[in-house]
Amino acid sequence: MVTPKPIDLHYRIDGPPDAPVLVLSHALGLSLAMWDPQVAPLSQALRVVRYDHRGHGRSPVTDGPYTIEELGRDLVHLIDGLGLERVSFCGLSLGGMVGMWIASNAPERIDRLVLCSAAARMLRPDDFAVRARTVREHGLDAVADTVIGRWFTPAFKVNHPDAFARIRDALLSTPREGYAGACEAIAQMDLRADVPRIKAPTLVIAAEHDQSTPPDLSREIARRIPAAELVVIPDAAHIANIEQPEIVANLILKHVQ
């Protein structure tokens, strides 16, 4: 098997240069800006590194399909380039999948691990292969309303229309090949046999109303990772860090520190 060649990712760093490092990894179809609500509270005590997955945000777009291993090696390449031996890591959805791959396959690189709204294997992985074909043929407009409809509770959409609109715009601005390639990575992903190898102290965060990665998938992760802690956030759906920003920031900070 040919080892995937990593690419140079777009990233941003906030916080004291001598503080412990926390890497934040975003969801499918978004960018490092997804973590804006957490930057201020986290960067007071931590050096926060955010980045865009390949094919997302300002990172290069390569032809798909991608794999979770490929996305994970991109991040290891970034960490190496920053001269970092070990980091703590928090990933949401696709970001959490990347985190599980690194913590399983390069455990010496991860200090503490937070997995939010993630899954080791999706319930209907073939749906992501279909979505990839749809996006390549018709663009993100063809799936945006369905996808974002699962990301937030109805109350959030009503009470925070500006935030909802910003996230929708971010999804629609994602390059179609980057989105489709990452969908294919999720379609073929199965990390269930890998995660028991994770040695980093792990916090698994689920959202009560998550339709994309229901809490049972988080419970499965927590059962498979030795000594993992599980927290279920009420009144939140898939993009829990946007819907409950303070709760998520506090959980991350407490676990990492």
Tell me the pLDDT tens digit for each residue of 79-108.
999 999 999 999 999 999 999 999 999 999
In a domain, 155, yes or no: yes
Helices and strands (DSSP H and E) totals, the chain: 11, 7
pLDDT digits (tens, 9 = 90+) for 217-233: 999 999 999 999 999 99
Residue 70: pLDDT band (50, 70, 90) is very high
pLDDT exceeds 90 at position 3: no
In a domain, 4, yes or no: no
Cβ–Cβ < 8 Å for 127, 220? no
Structure tokens that stand for 70 in this block: 């490929």
Query: Is the peptide bond prior to 175 cis by the omega test (within 30 degrees of 0)?
Result: no
0.75 cut: is pTM over it? yes
Tell me the residue range of the domain where 17 lies. Answer: 11-256
Instruction: Name the domain count of the chain.
Output: 1
Q: Residues with Cβ < 8 Å from 52, sequence gap 6 or more?
A: 9, 10, 11, 26, 31, 32, 58, 59
In a domain, 2, yes or no: no
Q: Residues with Cβ < 8 Å from 171, sequence gap 6 or more?
A: 29, 30, 140, 144, 147, 148
In a domain, 219, yes or no: yes
pLDDT exceeds 90 at position 4: no
Q: Is the dihedral of CA 35, 23, 182, 232 positive or negative?
A: negative
Structure tokens that stand for 233 in this block: 């956030």
For residue 83, the tally of other CB atoms under 10 A from its CB is: 6
In a domain, 200, yes or no: yes
- Among 249, 206, 197, which residue's Cα sits nearest to residue 225? 197
In a domain, 6, yes or no: no
In a domain, 132, yes or no: yes
Per DSSP, 19 falls in state S
pLDDT digits (tens, 9 = 90+) for 24-45: 999 999 999 999 999 999 999 9
Q: In the predicted model, what is the mean pLDDT of the chain?
A: 97
In a domain, 177, yes or no: yes
Q: Is the dihedral of CA 164, 22, 210, 213 positive or negative?
A: positive
Residue 1: pLDDT band (50, 70, 90) is very low
Helices of type H across the chain? 36-43, 68-81, 94-105, 126-138, 144-151, 154-159, 161-172, 176-188, 215-224, 240-243, 245-256
Instruction: Output the pLDDT for position 174.
Output: 98
pLDDT digits (tens, 9 = 90+) for 123-177: 999 999 999 999 999 999 999 999 999 999 999 999 999 999 999 999 999 999 9
Q: Alpha-carbon distance 114 to 69, whole Å? A: 18
| CATH label of the domain that carries residue 140 | 3.40.50.1820
